[in-house]
Amino acid sequence: MAAHLPVLNPEVGMISPRTRGRMVLRLRAAGIRDERVLDVMNQVPRHHFVAQALAGRAYELVSLPIGYGQTISQPWTVARMMEAILENNPIPRRILEIGTGSAYQTALLAELGAEVFTVERIGPLHHHADKVLSRLGYSQVHLLHGDGSGGWPEQGPYDAIVITAAVPCALAPLYRQLRPGGRLVMPVEDRGKQHLQVSHWDGHEARISHLGDCFFVPLLAGTVSLASGEC
Catalytic residues: 73
CA distance 107 to 163: 15
Which of 12, 32, 73, 160 lies at the binding interface for ligand SAH (CB under 6 A)? 73
In degrees, rounded to 5, the angle at the alpha carbon of residue 75 between the alpha carbons of residues 72 and 81 is: 100
CA distance 162 to 212: 16
Closest to ligand SAH by CB, 117 vs 202, is 117
Q: By CB under 6 A, what part of segment 5-64 binds ligand SAH?
A: none
Q: Which residue is nearest to ligand SAH (CB)?
A: 101
Closest to ligand SAH by CB, 83 vs 120, is 120
Compose the 85-104 pattern: x for residues touching ligand SAH by CB under 6 A, - for all others.
-------------xx-xx-x
| Residue 122: partners with Cβ closer than 8 Å, 6 or more residues away | 68, 70, 223, 224, 226
Q: Closest distance between ligand SAH and the C-beta of residue 203, in Å?
A: 26
Is residue 77 a contact residue for ligand SAH (CB under 6 A)?
no
Compose the 199-218 pattern: x for residues touching ligand SAH by CB under 6 A, - for all others.
------------------x-
Q: By CB under 6 A, what part of segment 127-156 binds ligand SAH?
A: 147-149
Longest Cα–Cα distance in the chain = 51
Closest to ligand SAH by CB, 79 vs 122, is 122
Closest to ligand SAH by CB, 38 vs 79, is 79
CA distance 163 to 87: 18
Which of 70, 177, 197, 199 lies at the binding interface for ligand SAH (CB under 6 A)? 70
Q: Closest distance between ligand SAH and the C-beta of residue 202, in Å?
A: 26
Q: Closest distance between ligand SAH and the C-beta of residue 125, in Å?
A: 5
Closest to ligand SAH by CB, 2 vs 220, is 220
Q: Closest distance between ligand SAH and the C-beta of residue 226, in Å?
A: 11
Residues of the shown chain interacting with ligand SAH in the complex, contacts defined by CB under 6 A: 70-73, 98-99, 101-102, 104-105, 119-122, 125, 147-149, 164-165, 217, 219-221
